[in-house]
């Protein structure tokens, strides 16, 4: 539908949608930076969505049963900001819009979760939004099954662009959502046929409708500038089978006289002249950031449209038993159950007595077997490595279209999609997710793992087969740089537990975390229980601690993590036999150790002794502890990996790469 | 087709295929580790492929015009190893098969490029093979256009499994190949309906045929155990339009009495009992690793089948002009043209005089404008950020189905697919690829970037917008940990040039590299030319050098990279004004600096001075240079990032995050 017809036939709609377009143009112009074309193109779809369909109440951004709206094409952030301002979200003021993309603004270049109420997830890295939304849709289904449709019954709406759909992660999301038949997920495709490099056809000829249908989606279509047609499609989508994709044919930069329908309007300000000409074409005689009061009032009515539904929902919530309501709110708010600490304490006590020799992946399974039954909001899963990651416990069943109470997700061979879905599961509220794959495939999931850290979403990555210790599968499957990668990433707890006790402590911390995701690097190979003296205190919480003290004068300190703590302890035996007093420090989490005060760090790593670190990985993160702490000595060494691994049985690899007690002891002796 | 029918109707085929199956079973059994099910399932398809279709000569594994065979489902490595042994590849001995997955064997758990002739690329991380193959297919088209179909005319055959097709990277590959209409690419889908977690339908219901068709592929199908039907499909595929996917319906672990058609046969040895029963079912009375001489001889005939074609090809190659033949061989063998050094030298001379103030991304474009016209094997591209990465030079046109001489690939919004395709472009021979995206989206490409490093494939990643200096797009687009990530990755040169001269030097090294991929982190913001004295020597080759000496007694050494070298130099001005003698070291490549001898490193970083490093990124990789070198002092500091960035203009971000000349000078003063 062209502008003239739209203005003539839909004057009420037109002024509402134009308010969005004007704000987007003005804000990008003022910042002289940003993406006006997408908001201008999708304003009609968004207007119909917010006006007629989206269940929300601008005065209650955290209403648990609201529909979620995800702008997967995050560069079009002004679309979302304009909607939040116009409908009356308290934090979304006009001043914020005026400070779009400036220091301290809630309205960043891309929507940043936590900066502004109404932003459901951080988007910008393309494809993350749609993949995160799949997790939200699963969370909705899960909570509905557990608490009933009276209190949980909403949709997840997602706007995606061509960029989102070209990213591989979108296929993982489409495949997972299709398999799970998530009919609460509705994807609105901004089909404008433009990417940064030109027409989409410059790089892609995919028939997106056919592609979505191939994975079991219902596909609908509409003219993205015809309010009636949009409304028809959105109405149909809410009743359709399976997840729904609506092909919304739009024009990027709709109405810009010289720049519409071209990449020129994608990623930079229109320029004063084109902006004025566009407002002229819109019949919008208002100055920058000027929204006539009656249009603002109409938008605020839309923002209040859901208030009655919310009030009714509050009543339904109150009608639940007190215990159920409390539990619902606890889970939605991610309040950690006291049962966690109790379960972990009992587990540690039993295991420090049993002292099993098990792989830490197995230890992790044992912890989960103790925790999953008492923490109902935990939803686990694996990217098709269940029997290797040991992520499924007997008490939980698969989450499927037939069993929405299932708490185990078969993510398929989709590490990136899994990580993004985990973010969505948590962000939705009511779910604390974990998911497993091989540690090396952190590589595949990096994009979403970084967003966990950036958003402060405490999901748990269960990364097994954490070193050359995995053996024969060889270097493609053997992480050597991945500990360094996770440790270099801000706001990430990289745990590498040494035994069953540290594994339990790491899990306790990971499941109690409020703002930091955790990565658990777990061994394939069996490891002895090293902490045989039970302590209720969580020693892993300190990041590092003395696991074995030096006998006699302390001449050396060995530091290690995970499977190498055993090696360090054996090296200590060799050194002590030579009367070299050797302390062994287990350092399951460098980030938590770094967060301790200097006095504690100095107590664990006092000056005056040779320091040697042992880890079957690259040295990069260790220099700080070897050399960087006040009082440390120049005499320091590292036993680990200098390059990629190889294919052979694990014991042979440790020998060949020289990660042995003898080599560690030798290193100490040579430094003394 | 069931075993009885197959044996009865196709006895010749049967014994050939059974030799593959037997070797796979025996090798996995001997290693007690590996994946027998896939080779057992795909043996029939592979037999027909090698027997009737694949253009190869086992005595000439490096024949430039051979068909490439890629086992994307790399866990089925024994399929490939068996084929290479049976057809008579010299390196693929029976002893190697017997040492499958053992230390020192050429036959690793997954096929490792460089370990064994006949392995065209490393596979194992799922989806990499198919995405790498797309690059090989592009290389074939490019070379054919440049050198003619008489010397370049072959196919790329790929076996993929369900795992490959669930990985997002496969969609990027499918989309790119479809757009490029690569009719030399034939994908054989091992459609066995089994993944590690069970039936494929546990996690996916995608109609793969429809999905490939949606991206412009021709889709064929066959019974993967019926030689005639396989042959019919493969014959049709060679003449079909566009890239071709053949849906080969197979049974995993074909013929194993209790384990066939289940995940039990996917990833572990059959066990002696099942193995014996399977051989019984096969009518294969031979012991472990025993292949009857006549069957081996038949296979070797197949291995020699292409010898005549190769001889004819050699004649056609000889019929080229001497210059053209030499150039063809130079490009296929990746011999660096002398024109590169000449072009770079002239460029550096001109630029050190002109001393432009340009972003290093712009400097990179200027270098490419000088280099691309004289190095015809360079093929550039970008993941839909051409105008931002500045990766396209005026002399090269787009590679399209209509213009196969084009040397610029519009990869689309497919960072991972691009990186894998670049690996394939190089591995094919005849092409030296570079490709661009934002540095932050290293995250998306990590899986394939790691393989570049593991394989020793010297592709060039042009990563622009390399820090908070990109400004308003905010933290989702601002790398802070990515320098650390690349530096932690073995066999990777992480360049961060400070100006136009260092950019040229980095490009020279990257384009001359024989075994190491390069990552160029380039600024969005303008930077002054700092190296105004022309030197023919490539100072960047040393990794670090003194860019400004201390005046008077040296009390401080500042180290920096990229955009922060300018800041370090300004800090030096402040310090020198306070009579604090300050050396500034530019360190564009830590890996190359680490590779220098200790004498050089000590000359650049002598003892006795305070050291401060400046980099708008996390500290992790710097501790070594601040603290770890012999003779360095405890007095060291870092000015950089401690967490994620923010959305605001770049200058403001540098101020707010305290990465300023004043802060650096202050740090030095506080340490003195």
Say whether B321 counts as a known binding-site residue: no
Q: Which of A140, A327, A415, A548 is catalytic?
A: A415
pLDDT digits (tens, 9 = 90+) for B635-644: 889 999 999 9
Averaged over A297-307, what is the pLDDT? 98
The answer to whether A454 and A592 are in contact (CB under 8 A) is no
A562 contacts A523 by C-beta, under 8 angstroms:
yes
- B350-375: per-residue pLDDT in tens? 999 999 999 999 999 999 999 999 99
- Is the Cβ–Cβ distance between A166 and B172 less than 8 Å? yes
Q: Is B247 annotated as a binding residue?
A: no
Among the partner-chain residues B122, B450, B627, the one whose CB lies closest to the CB of A627 is: B627
Residue B449 lies in a domain: yes
Q: How far is A552 from chain B (nearest CA, A)?
A: 28
Q: Do B110 and A204 make contact, defined as CB atoms within 8 angstroms?
A: no
Phi, psi of B72 (to 5 degrees): -65, -35
Does the annotation place A192 within a ligand binding site? Answer: yes
Q: Are residues B481 and B555 in the same domain?
A: no
Contact B414 A167 (CB under 8 A): yes
Q: Is residue B604 part of a domain?
A: yes
Domain boundary among A480, A496, A527: A527
Q: Do A487 and B643 touch (CB under 8 A)?
A: no
Distance (Å) from the alpha carbon of A166 to chain B's nearest alpha carbon? 6
- Give the pLDDT score at A620: 96
| pLDDT for the residue numbered A582 | 98
Same domain, B505 and B555: no
Question: Quick one: A599 and A650 in the same domain?
Answer: yes
Mean pLDDT across B228-236: 98
The rounded distance, in Å, linking the Cα atoms of A69 and A369 is 35
The predicted model gives A442-464 an average pLDDT of 98
pLDDT of residue A628: 66
DSSP label at residue B292: -
Residues B125 and B260 in one domain: yes
What is the helix (H) or strand (E) element at residue A609, kind and residue range?
none
Handedness of CA B94, B98, B100, B105 (dihedral sign): negative
Residues of chain A contacting residue B620, judged by C-beta atoms under 8 Å apart: 484, 487-488, 620-621, 624
In a domain, B623, yes or no: yes
Residue in this structure with the two tokens 């472990």, named with its chain if needed: B288
B-chain residues within 8 Å CB-CB of A591? none
In a domain, A333, yes or no: no
**Percent of residues in chain B assigned helix, strand, coil, to nearest 5:** 50, 15, 40
Q: Measure the CA–CA gap between A546 and A586, rounded to whole angstroms.
A: 6
Distance of CA A603 to the CA centre of its chain: 36
The average confidence (pLDDT) of chain A is 97
In the predicted model, what is the mean pLDDT of residues A29-40?
97
Beta carbons of B220 and B240 less than 8 angstroms apart? yes
**Residue where the block lists tokens 């412009």:** B216
Residue A391, pLDDT above cutoff 60: yes
Q: Say if the Cβ atoms of B210 and A207 lie within 8 Å.
A: no
Q: Are A416 and B168 in contact (CB under 8 A)?
A: yes
To the query of whether residue A415 is one of the catalytic residues in this protein, the response is yes
pLDDT at position A341, please?
A: 97
Would residue B255 be called left, alpha or beta, if left means φ above 0 and alpha means ψ between -120 and 50 degrees? left
Reduced to 3 states (helix: H, G, I; strand: E, B; else coil), residue B94 is helix
Q: Is residue A190 part of a domain?
A: yes
A457-474 pLDDT per residue, tens: 999 999 999 999 999 999
Q: Which residues partner with A191 through β-bridges?
A: A249
Asked whether the beta carbons of B458 and B136 are under 8 A apart, the reply is no
Residue A343 maps to which CATH number? 3.40.50.970
Chain B's closest residue to A409, CA to CA, is B203
Q: What is the ipTM of this complex?
A: 0.98
Please list, in sequence order, all residues whose beta carbon lies within 8 angstroms of the beta carbon of residue A326, skipping any fewer than 6 positions away. none
Cβ contact A214–B206 (<8 Å): yes
Chain B: residue whose CA lies nearest to A624: B623
Categorize the per-residue pLDDT at A193 as very low, low, confident or very high, splitting at 50, 70 and 90. Answer: very high
In a domain, B533, yes or no: no
Q: Report pLDDT digits (tens) over A223-240.
A: 999 999 999 999 999 999
pLDDT at B631 over 50: no
Is B535 annotated in some ligand binding site?
A: no
Please write the tens of the pLDDT for every residue from B488-527.
Answer: 999 999 999 999 999 999 999 999 999 999 999 999 999 9
Digit-coded pLDDT (tens) for B16-75: 999 999 999 999 999 999 999 999 999 999 999 999 999 999 999 999 999 999 999 999
- Contact list in B for residue A105 (CB cut-off 8 A) is 647-648
Give the three-state DSSP class for B380: strand
Q: Are residues B486 and B582 in the same domain?
A: no
Three-state DSSP state, B276: helix
**Among the partner residues B163, B387, B648, nearest to A101 by beta-carbon distance:** B648
Report the pLDDT value the prediction gives residue A631, as an integer from 0 to 100: 47
What is the mean pLDDT of the segment spanning B378-382?
Answer: 98
Identify which of B531, B493, B524 has the alpha carbon closest to the alpha carbon of residue B351.
Answer: B531
Same domain flag for B468 and B580: no
Q: Is A655 found in the same domain as A606?
A: yes
B115-119 — which CB contacts under 8 Å span 24+ positions?
B116/B81, B116/B84, B116/B89, B116/B91, B116/B92, B117/B61, B117/B62, B117/B84, B117/B89, B117/B90, B117/B91, B117/B92, B118/B58, B118/B61, B118/B80, B118/B83, B118/B84, B118/B89, B118/B91, B118/B92, B119/B80
| B112, B162, B206 ranked by CB distance to A215: nearest | B206
Question: Which whole number is the average pLDDT over B442-449?
Answer: 98
- Contact A518/A461 with Cβ under 8 angstroms? yes
Nearest beta carbon to residue A203 from set B201, B411, B453:
B411
Residue A667: which CATH number? 3.40.50.920
pLDDT in tens, B571-600: 999 999 999 999 999 999 999 999 999 999
Beta strands in B263-421, from DSSP E residues, in sequence order: 358-359, 378-382, 408-410
Structure tokens belonging to residue A523: 């061994």
- Shared domain check, A456 and A385: yes
pLDDT for A504? 98
Domain boundary among A497, A527, A557: A527
Structural domain of B664:
541-671
Instruction: Give the CA count within 13 Å in the CB-facing half-sphere of A490.
Output: 19
Least CB–CB distance from A214: residue in B211, B476, B623: B211
d(CA B667, CA B336): 45
Assess if residue A537 is contained within a domain: no
In a shared domain, residues B293 and B366: no
Closest C-alpha to B170, from B181, B159, B155, B154: B159
Half-sphere exposure of B553 (CA within 13 A, CB side): 7
Interface test with B, best of A216, A243, A263, A444 (most B CBs within 10 A): A444
Question: Tell me, what's the pLDDT at A578?
Answer: 98
Instruction: Give the span between the Cα atoms of B453 and B516, in whole angstroms.
Output: 6
Instruction: Considering only CA atoms, give the Rg of chain B.
Output: 28
Average pLDDT over residues B214-238: 98
Question: Residues B102, B179: one domain?
Answer: yes
Of A309, A327, A346, which closes a domain?
A309
pLDDT for B214 beyond 80:
yes
Percent of chain A having pLDDT more than 70? 99
What is the pTM for the complete model shown?
0.98
Instruction: Give the number of domains in chain B.
Output: 3
Q: Is B638 annotated as a binding residue?
A: no
Beta bridge partners of A461: A435, A519
Are B267 and B201 part of one and the same domain? yes
Q: Model confidence over A4-30: pLDDT tens digits? A: 999 999 999 999 999 999 999 999 999
3-class state of residue A272 by DSSP: helix
| pLDDT exceeds cutoff 70 at B114 | yes
**Within this chain, do residues A435 and A583 fall inside the same structural domain, yes or no?**
no
Are A618 and B387 inside 8 Å of each other by CB? no
- What are the distances in angstroms from CA A421 to CA A77, A123, A183, A214, A608? 21, 13, 16, 21, 48
CA dist B433 and B142 (Å) reads 12
Residue B35 assigned as binding residue: yes
Q: Which residue on chain A is closest to B106 by alpha carbon?
A: A647
Q: Is the pLDDT of residue B629 over 60?
A: no
Does residue B331 fall inside a structural domain?
no
Rounded Cα gap, residues B107 and B87, in angstroms: 16
């Amino acid at each position: 539908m062209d502008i003239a017809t739209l203005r003539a036939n839909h004057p009420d709609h037109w002024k509402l949608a134009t308010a969005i377009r004007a704000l987007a143009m003005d804000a990008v112009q003022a910042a002289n930076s940003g993406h006006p074309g997408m908001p201008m193109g999708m304003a009609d779809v968004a207007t119909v969505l917010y006006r007629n369909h989206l269940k929300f109440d601008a005065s209650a951004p955290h209403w648990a049963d609201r529909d979620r709206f995800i702008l997967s094409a995050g560069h079009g952030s002004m679309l979302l900001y304009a909607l939040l301002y116009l409908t009356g979200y308290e934090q979304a003021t006009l001043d914020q819009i005026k400070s779009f993309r400036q220091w301290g603004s809630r309205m960043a270049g891309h929507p940043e979760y936590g900066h502004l109420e109404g932003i459901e997830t951080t988007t910008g890295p393309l494809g993350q939004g749609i993949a995160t939304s799949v997790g939200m849709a699963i969370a909705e289904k899960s909570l509905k099954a557990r608490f009933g449709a009276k209190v949980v019954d909403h949709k997840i709406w997602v706007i995606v662009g061509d960029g989102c759909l070209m990213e591989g992660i979108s296929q993982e999301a489409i495949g997972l959502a299709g398999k799970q038949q998530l009919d609460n997920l509705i994807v609105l495709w901004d089909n404008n046929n433009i990417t940064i490099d030109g027409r989409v056809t410059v790089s892609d000829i995919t028939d997106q409708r056919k592609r979505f249908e191939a994975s079991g989606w219902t596909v609908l279509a509409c003219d993205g500038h015809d309010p009636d047609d949009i409304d028809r499609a959105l109405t149909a989508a809410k009743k359709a089978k399976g997840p729904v994709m609506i092909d919304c044919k739009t024009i990027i930069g709709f109405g810009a006289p010289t720049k519409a329908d071209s990449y020129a309007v994608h990623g930079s300000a229109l320029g004063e002249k084109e902006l004025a000409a566009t407002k002229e074409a819109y019949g919008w005689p208002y100055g920058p950031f000027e929204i006539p009061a009656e249009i603002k009032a109409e938008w605020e009515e839309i923002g209040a449209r859901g208030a009655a539904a919310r009030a009714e929902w509050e009543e339904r919530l109150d009608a639940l038993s007190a215990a159920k309501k409390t539990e619902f709110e606890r889970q939605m708010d991610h309040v950690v159950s006291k049962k966690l600490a109790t379960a972990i304490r009992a587990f540690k006590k039993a295991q420090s007595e049993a002292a099993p020799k098990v792989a830490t992946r197995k230890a992790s399974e044992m912890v989960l077997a103790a925790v999953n039954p008492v923490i109902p909001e935990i939803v686990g899963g694996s990217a098709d490595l269940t029997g290797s990651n040991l992520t499924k416990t007997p008490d939980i069943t698969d989450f499927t279209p037939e069993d929405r109470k299932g708490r185990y997700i078969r993510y398929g061979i989709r590490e990136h999609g899994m990580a993004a879905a985990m973010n969505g599961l948590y962000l939705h509220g009511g779910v604390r997710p974990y998911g497993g794959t091989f540690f090396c495939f952190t590589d595949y999931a990096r994009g979403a793992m970084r967003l966990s850290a950036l958003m402060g979403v405490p999901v748990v990555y269960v990364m097994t087969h954490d070193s050359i210790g995995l053996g024969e599968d060889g270097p493609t499957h053997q992480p050597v740089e991945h500990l360094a990668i996770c440790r270099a990433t801000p706001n990430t707890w990289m745990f590498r537990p040494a035994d069953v006790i540290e594994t339990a402590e790491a899990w306790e911390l990971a499941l109690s975390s409020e703002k930091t995701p955790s990565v658990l690097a777990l061994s394939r190979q069996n490891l002895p229980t090293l902490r045989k003296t039970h302590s209720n205190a969580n020693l892993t919480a300190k990041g590092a601690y003395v696991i074995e003290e030096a006998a006699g004068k302390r001449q050396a300190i060995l530091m290690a993590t995970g499977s190498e703590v055993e090696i360090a302890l054996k090296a200590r035996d060799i050194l002590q036999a030579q009367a070299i007093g050797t302390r062994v420090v287990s350092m399951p989490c460098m980030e938590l150790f770094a967060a301790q005060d200097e006095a504690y760090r100095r107590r664990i790593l006092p000056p005056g002794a040779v320091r040697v670190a042992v880890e079957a990985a690259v040295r990069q993160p260790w220099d700080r502890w070897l050399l960087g702490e006040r009082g440390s000595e120049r005499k320091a060494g590292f036993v680990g990996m200098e390059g990629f691994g190889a294919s052979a049985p694990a014991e042979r690899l440790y020998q060949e790469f020289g990660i042995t007690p003898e080599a560690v002891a030798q290193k100490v002796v040579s430094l003394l």
